Amino acid sequence: MPKIGVFVCHCGSNIAGTVDVEKVAAAARTIPGVVVACDYRYMCSEAGQETITKAIREYGLDGVVVCSCSPRMHEATFRRAAEREGLNPYMVEIANIREQCSWIHKNREEATEKAIVLMRAAVAKVKRDTPLTAGRSGVTRRALVIGGGIAGLSTALDVANAGYEVDIVEKEPTIGGKMAQLDKTFPTLDCSACILTPKMVEAAQNENINLYTYSEVEKVSGYVGNFTVTIRKKARFVREDRCTGCGACMEKCPSRKAKNEFNCGLNTRSAIYIPFAQAIPNVAVIDAQHCLKLQTGKCGVCEKVCAAGAIDYTQQDELIQREYGAIVAATGFQPIRPYQFGEYGYGRYPDVITSLELERLMNAAGPTDGELRCPSDGRKPKNIVFIQCVGSRGQTCRDKSYCSKICCMYTAKHAMLIRDHWPDMDVHVFYIDVRTPGKNFDEFYRRAAEEYQVDYRKGQVGKIYEEDGHLMVQGSDLLEDRQVLMPADLVVLAVAVEPSPDARKLATMLTASMDNNDFFTEAHPKLRPVESPTAGIFLSGMCQGPKDIPETVSQAGAAAAKVIGLLSKKELTANPCTAHPEEVRCNGCGECEKVCPYGAISYEEKELRVMGRREKRRVAVVNTALCQGCGACTVACPSGVMDLQGFSNRQILAEVDAICR
């Protein structure tokens, strides 16, 4: 019988406060095969681990059970400890008596009883553990960054500067993301383009960085260190290698009615266009939907005026397959379109706009050349009302439940800039709370309120309506405890942010998990904030949750550090919990192959000894480098010969038995 040691952790009072740990250890001692059982204040501490290694040595243990926190916390710690003492690390099992016992139960007796059952199940499992050796695999020394906003660019530059190749896949025709659309940035008020464009240029010129703009990820396969990705490079109808970005085509293009996305649809652009002056690559793209030549076959003006001969109406989407060791999601965000908030009249009144639209209206390169004008008739606004938290922090289904985090600060920025440029304009801000934690943030907001005399009002706006051609804003002032009604020339909605709409599709491809709001989930909210739970997938920027530029850039750098750590490894140890068929009983039926999501199962003719006779048979073979250990095949197998190491049928049944005893 294997010799088992059971180690019960107090976790200070986290476990011992509710679970009688001594009783758990005593119960363990009564189980056949358990030769030592003890409890200790902190098993994960050096002294705690020492207790385990010493017992392995003294009792010659074949298996170890640690009753402690979740295996997701310290399984690796205890496995390493065992390995140091020469015990195979996969001969260690964890009974989760903290997260799944002491933390959720109040009754000491009940919790202790449950802890004993969980311990028994772990002992039953460990008795059937077999030593496993992790396979090793190489690492492709190249990273893929999906999304070319400030997050993606920062991560890519950091990884590239460490000497590794990086590809950036950006779905838009240019890199830059939302930051390219901003005018000035809080808290220093430096010009967004002035700090962003050098980064864009640096990325384009870095010899380790390869840009795939106007491209999307189509398919992802493989695993950490060895991903294979198919990228769809959408047809630009313009040859990137020839276009000089002179802009002659844009000037002459007769189709000029397309909404200019870069300016949030506040003006129009030609069908062939370069999104903005500093776009990278500085190459035109044809918007096929609005191009007369592509729609009707008649036109071809751009081809005629292009001196470089770059126009190619026959261009097709191109599929590119590349290998990567690590993948970074940096797909960013979008502000919501607040149509569902009928009371504000967005979409009905042209002078009700979002904050991002205001950024464009204040930007010197925007549709009004930086002169703040009302979109309805181009007049100079006198009264400007800001409404914060539109769609954020709500309880109803039309709202996001979270705080979008950046809006208080950018609204203060907008208010301050307006008062600074046009002191004759009056600025009112309706807020629920002003949230400005961050270095120099609260000072920034107070400057807006005090120095620039922005009229901050705590309260919500109930309704915006038109009266005699004027917008009227009706709201409450909670501090003065009264209703207010004020005329407005321009109303700016600080709307909630939400993840990029294609993020979910991407998450499915990457098998990376997301939260209820479609933000990517991190492997651990505190300790592993830039990794996805899926090995080899990292998170950078707003795709993980609302954040401003300083925070985005720090997170991007952290993600880069993790990527560099991975790419610098010579080899990776694979998960040894893979599927294995018992060959003599396999009849090669093919069921297991059908359910394998990784194509890890194939069939081979093998010569086997069956009941003393030699026989040639077709049997299933698992490629352990590809197998990820889900276990789908183990259940699909009609003869029950496919089993999963580390989670074998015998082990799971033993756990069931121990629990139902």
Partner 1 sequence: MPVKESFTPKIVAFCCNWCSYAGADLAGSSRLSYPADVKIIRVPCSCRVNPMFLLRAFQKGADGVILCGCHPGDCHYSTGNYYARRRMTLLFSMLSYLGIEKERTRVEWVSAAEGARFASVMNDFVGTVQKLGPCRRLEDVRCKE
Ligand X SMILES: Cc1cc2nc3c(=O)[nH]c(=O)nc-3n(C[C@H](O)[C@H](O)[C@H](O)COP(=O)(O)OP(=O)(O)OC[C@H]3O[C@@H](n4cnc5c(N)ncnc54)[C@H](O)[C@@H]3O)c2cc1C
Q: How far apart are CA 385 and CA 344, in angstroms?
A: 12
Question: Interface with partner 1 includes 65 (CB under 8 A)?
Answer: no
Site for ligand X in 198-237 (CB under 6 A): 216
Distance CA 196, CA 150 (A): 7
Task: Choose the contact partner of 508 out of ligand X, partner 1, none; CB within 5 to 8 A by kind.
Answer: partner 1
Pairing of strands 537-539, 326-329: parallel
Residues 390 and 493: beta-carbon distance below 8 Å:
yes
Question: Could you say whether residue 548 binds ligand X (CB under 6 A)?
Answer: yes
Task: Dig out the tokens for 69 from the structure.
Answer: 């926190």
Q: What distance in Å separates the CA atoms of residue 200 and residue 157, rounded to the nearest whole number?
A: 10
Q: Which is nearer to ligand X, 132 or 195 (CB)?
A: 195
Q: Give the pairing of strands 318-324 and 226-233.
A: antiparallel
Instruction: Work out whether 331 is an interface residue with ligand X (CB under 6 A).
Output: yes
Nearer to ligand X by C-beta: 264 or 299?
264
Residue 527: CB minimum distance to partner 1, A: 12
Assigned token pair, 613: 């006779």
> Which of 7, 78, 90, 186 is in the footprint of ligand X by CB under 6 A?
186
Of 485-544, which residues contact partner 1 (CB under 8 A)?
Answer: 504, 507-508, 511, 513-516, 521, 533-534
- Could you say which DSSP state residue 280 is in? S
- Which one among 74, 79, 114, 293 touches partner 1, defined by CB under 8 A? 114
**Three-class DSSP category at 618:** strand
Instruction: Indicate the residue among 404 and 634 with the shorter CB distance to partner 1.
Output: 634
The CB density around residue 357, as the number of other CB atoms within 10 Å, is 23
Q: How far is the CB of 294 from ligand X (least distance, A)?
A: 23
Give the whole-angstrom CA distance, residue 369 versus residue 362: 8
Pick what 280 binds: ligand X, partner 1, none; C-beta below 5 to 8 Å, kind-dependent. Answer: none
Nearest to 326 by CA among 220, 234, 231: 220
Q: List phi, psi (to 5°) of 34.
A: -80, 110
Helix (H) or strand (E) holding 505: helix 503-510
Identify what 182 binds: partner 1, ligand X, none; CB under 5 to 8 Å per kind: ligand X
In the DSSP assignment, the letter for residue 639 is T
Strands 136-137 and 318-324, how do they pair? unpaired
Q: Interface residues for ligand X in 162-181 (CB under 6 A)?
A: 169-172, 177-179
Find all residues with CB under 8 Å of 397, minimum gap 6, and list them.
none
**Pick 316 or 517: Cβ nearer partner 1:** 517
Site string for ligand X, 514-543 (x = CB under 6 A): ---------------------------xx-
Residue type, 588: G
Whose tokens are 């990228």? That residue is 231
CB crowding 525-558: b at 16 or more within 10 Å, else e: eeeeebbbebbbbbbbbbbbbbbbbebbbebbbb
Site string for partner 1, 600-639 (x = CB under 8 A): ----------------------------xxxxx-xxx---
What are the C-alpha distances in Å from 178 to residues 155, 196, 335, 657? 16, 10, 10, 56
Task: State which of residues 565, 597, 599, 638 lies at the interface with partner 1 (CB under 8 A).
Answer: 597
Tell me how far apart the alpha carbons of residues 16 and 235 are, in angstroms, rounded to a whole number. 64
Could you tell me the smallest distance in angstroms from the CB atom of residue 506 to partner 1?
12
Binding range to ligand X, per CB under 6 A, among 87-95, 109-117, 252-260, 324-332:
324-332
Per rule CB under 6 A, is residue 281 in the interface with ligand X? no
Choosing from 330, 490, 493, 512, the residue that interacts with ligand X (CB under 6 A) is: 330
656 contacts partner 1 (rule: CB under 8 A):
yes
74 lies in the binding site for partner 1 (CB under 8 A): no
Residues binding partner 1 (CB under 8 A): 70-72, 96, 98-101, 103-107, 110-111, 113-114, 117-118, 121, 504, 507-508, 511, 513-516, 521, 533-534, 577, 595, 597, 628-632, 634-636, 644, 647, 649, 652-653, 655-657, 659-661
> Which residues in this chain contact ligand X in the complex, by CB under 6 A?
146-152, 169-172, 177-179, 182, 185-186, 216, 330-333, 335, 355-356, 359, 406, 410, 413, 500, 502, 506, 541-542, 547-550, 552
